[in-house]
Structure formats: structure tokens, C-alpha cells
Amino acid sequence: MINNAFGLIVTADRSTHLKDLTLSRSAGAVPFGGRYRFIDFTLSNMVNAGITSVGLITEKNYHSLMDHLGSGKEWDLHRKRDGLFILPPFMTKDNSGVFRGDIDAIRSVLGYVRRTQEDYAVLAWPRVVMNLDLTAMMEQHVETGADITILYAEDGSLRPEEQNQDLRLILDEKGRVTDMELDAYRPHSMNRSADVMILKKELLEYLVEEAYARGEYDFHRDILLKKCKTLNIMGYKFEGFLARMESVEGYFANSMALLNPDVQADLFNARRPIYTKVKDEVAARYSVSAQVKNSLVADGCVIEGLVENSILFRGVHVKPGARIYNSIVMQGAEVDENAILDHVILDKGVKILPGRSLQGYDSFPIVIRKNQTV
Amino acid sequence: MLILSGDHIYKMDYAKMLKFHRDKKAAATIAVLQVPWEEAHRFGIMNADVNGVIQSFEEKPKEPKSNLASMGIYIFDWKKLRDYMEADDADPNSSNDFGKNIIPAMLNSGEVMVAYPFEGYWRDVGTIQSLWEANMDLLGQKPVLDLDDDSWRIYTRNPVMPPHYVSLTAQVTNSLVSEGAVVEGTVTNSVIFSGARIEKGATVKDSIIFPKAVVGKNVTVEKAIVGENSIVGDYSMVGGPVRPGEKVNNKLTGDITLIGNDVTIPPRAYLAKGAVVNTENPHQPAKEA
């Protein structure tokens, strides 16, 4: 367990391109896996490792995030000492209130950072979803005496057109980072940062202030890349299931991966549970005409139609004769009689009228915006 | 003072009952439900006048005079109740029971006691049969008891579990399935609690599977209750016909087969209809005929 680190989560993040899914919410609040938000995984990883102080940097559209997090009770972060701090963007004499990049974001909350009692900062971006044993990563960080430890996972894919904060680590045999590339067109390494970093609190303060003083704002490019040779930066390899949420296609593919029981066992590892806001929903109800195969179904759903290879969030209603294939249906959506959906993502509260049909593709899932009627 | 039972299933606004109690200036108000006449002998029956004032009370009468059954929900004037309870406590011959002692004593002393008529779903689930029935009442196209009611939420502890997973080999109809469950077999007319596991080839029919119970591969479960954390070994039969020469003590269960909590049933076991298996009374494999 970790007792001398605090968490700092950067939700002010422009690198996630989830189109309509992030129209009304920040990236951390995007629903995933039938009942979770991205942020749930980041927060759970921290509290499961014993972290009791978490600061959450917000930028805009953080209403949805605040609504979801509440007092932090579900994560055991409603505490007299420490707890969950939602840090809204603010403007002062020193802070322009302008977020050009992560350095601006972190600098604007240095007040929180200074007040924390802990020695180490765990810096995370909720655009990567996984179940991480943060304690083991911290142990390595302390043992190796590294200045910064960066979590990475192998990523052999090349998607230059989608690159955003694609940080590649070139490691020596001891796991030390000898070089880095950001958004390289032809990366020289499969080892890609998973956007979790551990460093001393003082070092974080120093790096951010120093970079800011020189007018820099991109944490990855202006701090990590530039300090790569002078600081002792180590990699820590993540071996489990990891979902990068950088595009709608990625989000879709990662959601579908959850239908694999091995992935479920890894991500929803009972030793490190993923906490989320609870809703006291009733159990899902299957009617006589329900036909469900290979799907994840959350509480409160009523299923009277056919559902295959899909993920249904809480309170979804699938009416008789409706057919849903390879789709993600978010909370409270309603699919009426004889409607057909394939490769579709329905955001919260969407209503599909009787007989309507929508057909997307693996490479182009159709996204229907929150509360729309088709 | 509002007195309730923990083994009743119903949705009720106690505020309305309290208003009734105040309006009637009663010493005690007892919620009553109209039950079918043929079942009235199983309940505590209130005989009330047109204004709802209770004239007499009979516990499980052989020949009921009314079909207003006490639901076991009482509102008392606390000071009065305390006096009667203290007097009752001092009486060595009393069995210290609400229905048998306190209420008759209050009636005999001429206290104003009124019956509050309740309409709606109410079940006492104190027996295996009624527990099973109440669970089955949640099923159907328009369930008798609809828990999916935004105006009257039922709150509970929420297990920290992912959505339930229904595999390629599964078939689920007319059932309730809760979070964290994994269904790989066939489930019909059943209630599956959180974290339960129905493995490949298994068939679960007309049954209740409690949290984290495991129904193994190719198991058949019919009209049964499987307790929390219990495991039914592969190829077992739960709730099969009573075989010739077999004796089943089904006094408590009728035709419902009951597996208690934390029980492990070995593979290829046979549990006949009405059998009870729990940790004190483990499964005894039948002797080969």
C-alpha cells in the first residue's frame, strides 16, 4: 500500500477525440463498460493502492464529472483529512485561466499540490483505462531511485492520423528511458506511455514552474522530452488489458473487447475492484421474448428483443422485435419495436423510434448524441 | 412509534398511515389488508366497524368473521404502548407477544384502536414457499410487484461488480439477472442474484439463485432456491422427481428444493424435489440401488 503519495488527475484533456461523446462532458466522464466512466478506473487504481488524497484538474464541461463523483463517497474519498479535491479552473493575477496545455493545467492547481502532505505525486490522465497495481509500480519507483517512473505498455499499432500525445519510450536493458518520441510518424519503439507517472512532489513543482517560466505548456513535449537525458526516467511495464480512448473507433473496439471473459477477469479483478457511482437499480429483466447472446447487461435494463455482442448500460429498454447487434447503448436509452441497430453507439437517453434502422461499421461506428431521437 | 417486520415485501407510504392515526386520535393503528376468505385463517384477523375502529382481534381464527388481516405494521402512542408493555412484562403468564398479549390487552381496556386499510402488494416471506412465490411475483410481462418504479425506489447495498455477462451459449428468458452474474447456460422464469454463475449446459428453471452461488456445467435446477456462495457440482440434478423408495423430509419446503448458504454439492449429485441441504445437513449421496 502507498501512504506517501497523492493523486493528480488531469481531466482537462484535449487529446481525446471522441466526437459527440465528449460534446457535453469532459473525457473523464465518458461512460464505459456498462456502468463506469473513464475516471472510475483511474480513481479506483489510486484508492486500491491506498492513496487518500486525489486532486482532479478540470477545465470545462465538468458538470457531468462533478455529478458523477459527488463527495467521493463511492471511492472512500469523502474524508476529514485529505479526500477528493475537484479543482476547477480559476483565474488570478498569476493564472491567466488559459489552458494551452497540461503545464498550464497543473500550474493552476499548484496551490493544492503544495498543501498536500505526501512526498510523491501520481500523475494520471483518464484517457487510458486499465486495472493497475499502482503499489507495485510505486515499489519499483522507490527501489530504482528514479526521478520519474512512466507506465508503458506495448503498442504495435501505427495510427499516425490519430496520434495525440503518443509518447514512445526507448528503453535500455535496465528499463531506463534513454530516448523518447512524441507523435512520431514512424515510432522507433513499441513501448508506449500509458499516461501514469510517479515523481516526487518537489520535482513536479519545479518542472512545472520552470517550464512555465519559459512560456512552455506541453507537459509531454516541453518537460518529458527535454528532460529525458538529464533526469533518471524509468519505465514500468503494464501487462494487463489496457484501453486507450483516443478515437471513437478505439472506444468502440475497446468496448467490444470487454465481451471477452479474459478481459473481464483482468479489468474487473476482484482483488482490485472498480468503484463507481451507485444507482440502486433493480436487476435487469428479461421477458419471454428476450434473446441475448454475448453481451454485458447492466442493472435496470428491460430486454424484450434481441441483443447480440453488445453492451447495455443501466436502465436501457429494448422493446419486442428490436434487434441490436455489435452496439453500445448507454444509460436510459430506448430502442423501440422492430428497430435494428448494428455498430452503433447510443449516448445516454437516446430514443430509437419503431422500425428505424442504423448501420455503422467497425471502422466507423455511428454515434448518436445524448438525448436525441432517431 | 412505528413497528415493522423485516420479512415482509411491500411498498407503503407510512406517512399516510401516520396521518390516519392522528386523524382518528387512536392509541394504536394497525395496517390491514383484505385477504381471500379461504386464507383468512392463516392471519391475525381484525374485526372492525365501518369507521375502522377495531372491535376484536383473533389470531389465526378457525372461523374468521372478517377478512382484514393484520400486516404486522403498527403505529402506537408510545407512552401508552410503554405502559402496556411494562404491565405485560410484569405478568409471568404472558407470552410477551404483540398479537397474543399486547393488542388484546389494549382492546380490553377500551383503547381506541383502528385498522388502516392498505391496498397493494404485500407478502409475508417467512416461509420457503412464500419466499419463492414473492420472487416469482417479480417476473412476467407486467410483474405483480414491479420494482422498476422511479417513484418508489427500493434502496439496497450495491455490490461493487461489473454488469452481468450473458455468453454466446446462454439463453435467458422471463428472468431477473443482477450485476456481476455470469450466465452461460439456460435460464427461464428465475431470479439470478449478483455474482452468481450459471455455467455451460446448465438449465435453471423456476428457481432463485442467491449471490455468488455457482451452478456447475450441465446441472439442472428446477423450482429450487440455491443459497449464497453455494456450489452445485457439474452434472447434478436439483429438484428432480422423488425416486422410488426415496424419502424426502419436505415439511418446510413442499415441492421446493432448498440449498442453504455456503454448501458445496458434489458433481453428479441428485436432489429430489423438496429436499433440504445445508451446512448442518450436508448432501448424502444416495446409495446405489
Of A34, A288, A291, the CB nearest to B162: A34
> Which residue is listed with cell 463511492?
A74
Kindly state the percentage of chain B with pLDDT values over 70.
98
Which has the minimum average pLDDT: A98-102, A206-210, B205-209? Answer: A98-102
Q: Contacts of residue A256 in chain B, CB cutoff 8 Å?
A: none
Give dist(CA A236, CA A149) in Å, integer: 7
Q: Contacts of residue B192 in chain A, CB cutoff 8 Å?
A: 283
| CB neighbourhood size of B146 (10 A) | 15
Q: What is the DSSP string of A245-256?
A: -SBHHHHHHHHH
What is the CA A161 to chain-centroid distance, rounded? 21
The average pLDDT across B237-249 equals 85
Contact B178 A284 (CB under 8 A): yes
Q: Contacts of residue B185 in chain A, CB cutoff 8 Å?
A: none
DSSP A73: G
- In this prediction, residue B247 carries a pLDDT of 80
- The whole-angstrom distance between A302's CA and the closest CA on chain B is 9
Listed by number, the residues of chain B in 191-230 with a beta carbon closer than 8 Å to a beta carbon of chain A are: 191-193
- In this prediction, residue A51 carries a pLDDT of 92
Contact B163 A291 (CB under 8 A): no
- In this prediction, residue A281 carries a pLDDT of 81
Hey, which residues does A130 pair with through a beta bridge? A242
Which has the minimum average pLDDT: A17-31, A171-185, A307-321, B9-23? Answer: A17-31
Rama region for A332: left / alpha / beta (φ>0; ψ in -120 to 50; rest):
left
Using a CB–CB cut-off of 8 Å, the residues of A that contact B are 33-36, 259, 261, 264, 267-268, 273-275, 278-280, 282-300, 302, 311-313
Please answer whether residues B182 and B164 qualify as being in contact, where contact means their C-beta atoms are separated by less than 8 angstroms.
yes
What is the CA A170 to chain-centroid distance, rounded? 24
ipTM over 0.90: no
Decide if pLDDT at A61 tops 80.
no
Please answer whether residues B74 and B102 qualify as being in contact, where contact means their C-beta atoms are separated by less than 8 angstroms.
no
DSSP A20: G
Q: Where are the alpha helices (DSSP H) in chain B?
A: 14-23, 78-90, 103-108, 128-136
Q: Contacts of residue B204 in chain A, CB cutoff 8 Å?
A: none
The average pLDDT across A211-218 equals 88
Contact B177 A283 (CB under 8 A): yes
The answer to whether residue B155 neighbours chain A at the CB level (below 8 Å) is yes
Give dist(CA A147, CA A137) in Å, integer: 13
- In this prediction, residue A95 carries a pLDDT of 60
Decide if pLDDT at A291 tops 90.
yes
- Strands A5-10 and A53-57 come out as parallel
Contact A278 B158 (CB under 8 A): yes
| CB neighbourhood size of B176 (10 A) | 24
> Which residue is listed with cell 445516454?
A348
Contact B177 A284 (CB under 8 A): yes
> Which residue is listed with cell 528511458?
A177
Please answer whether residues A219 and A199 qualify as being in contact, where contact means their C-beta atoms are separated by less than 8 angstroms.
no
Name which residue leads in pLDDT, A124 or A100. A124
Please answer whether residues B269 and B275 qualify as being in contact, where contact means their C-beta atoms are separated by less than 8 angstroms.
no
- In this prediction, residue B261 carries a pLDDT of 93
Contact B166 A292 (CB under 8 A): yes
Give dist(CA B21, CA B19) in Å, integer: 5
Contact A284 B162 (CB under 8 A): no
Closest-CA residue of B relative to A307 is: B166
Interface test with A, best of B139, B144, B149, B164 (most A CBs within 10 A): B164
What is the CA A242 to chain-centroid distance, rounded? 10
Hey, which residues does B226 pair with through a beta bridge? B209, B259
Decide if pLDDT at A152 tops 90.
yes
Kindly state the percentage of chain A with pLDDT values over 90.
57
Contact B192 A273 (CB under 8 A): no
**Tens-digit pLDDT profile for residues B142-173:** 777 877 777 777 787 777 889 999 999 999 99
Contact A296 B171 (CB under 8 A): no
Q: Contacts of residue B174 in chain A, CB cutoff 8 Å?
A: 286-288, 290
- The whole-angstrom distance between B60's CA and the closest CA on chain A is 35
Q: What are phi and psi of B3, to 5 degrees?
A: -115, 130
Hey, which residues does B42 pair with through a beta bridge? none
Q: How confident is the model at residue A252 (pLDDT cuts 50, 70, 90)?
A: very high
Give dist(CA A302, CA B138) in Å, integer: 13
- In this prediction, residue B288 carries a pLDDT of 42
Please answer whether residues B70 and B51 qualify as being in contact, where contact means their C-beta atoms are separated by less than 8 angstroms.
no
Q: How confident is the model at residue A146 (pLDDT cuts 50, 70, 90)?
A: very high
- The whole-angstrom distance between B128's CA and the closest CA on chain A is 21
Rg, chain A, Cα only: 21
Decide if pLDDT at B289 tops 50.
no
The answer to whether residue B179 neighbours chain A at the CB level (below 8 Å) is yes
Contact B160 A296 (CB under 8 A): no
Please answer whether residues A167 and A220 qualify as being in contact, where contact means their C-beta atoms are separated by less than 8 angstroms.
yes
- In this prediction, residue A16 carries a pLDDT of 63
- The whole-angstrom distance between A313's CA and the closest CA on chain B is 8
Contact B165 A292 (CB under 8 A): no
Output the CA–CA distances (angstroms, integers) from residue B273 to B238, B243, B289, in the order listed.
Answer: 7, 10, 19
> What cell does B9 get?
415485501
Closest-CA residue of B relative to A309 is: B168
Give Cβ neighbours of residue A96 (< 8 Å, ≥ 6 apart): A104
- The whole-angstrom distance between B163's CA and the closest CA on chain A is 4
Q: Where are the alpha helices (DSSP H) in chain A?
A: 38-48, 63-69, 102-107, 110-115, 134-144, 201-213, 226-227, 248-257, 261-267
> Which residue is listed with cell 448507454?
A330
Please answer whether residues A72 and A86 qualify as being in contact, where contact means their C-beta atoms are separated by less than 8 angstroms.
no
Contact B154 A282 (CB under 8 A): yes
Give dist(CA B253, CA A182) in Å, integer: 68
Output the CA–CA distances (angstroms, integers) from residue B171 to A247, A292, B136, in the order listed.
Answer: 34, 7, 19
Give dist(CA B29, CA B54) in Å, integer: 9
Give Cβ neighbours of residue A210 (< 8 Å, ≥ 6 apart): none
DSSP B169: T
Decide if pLDDT at A24 tops 80.
no
Closest-CA residue of B relative to A34 is: B163
Give dist(CA B280, CA B37) in Å, integer: 39
Using a 10 angstrom Cβ sphere, with 0-12 exposed, 13-18 middle and 19 or more buried, the burial of residue B81 is buried
Of A279, A290, A313, the CB nearest to B173: A290
List % helix, strand, coil for chain A (3-state, nearest 5): 25, 30, 45
Decide if pLDDT at B227 tops 50.
yes
| CB neighbourhood size of A142 (10 A) | 14
Give dist(CA B250, CA B234) in Å, integer: 24
Contact A297 B168 (CB under 8 A): no
Q: How confident is the model at residue A158 (pLDDT cuts 50, 70, 90)?
A: low
Strands (E), B20-67: 28-34, 44-48, 54-59
Q: A with B: how many residue pairs have Cβ under 8 Å apart?
A: 100
Of B166, B174, B187, the CB nearest to A287: B174
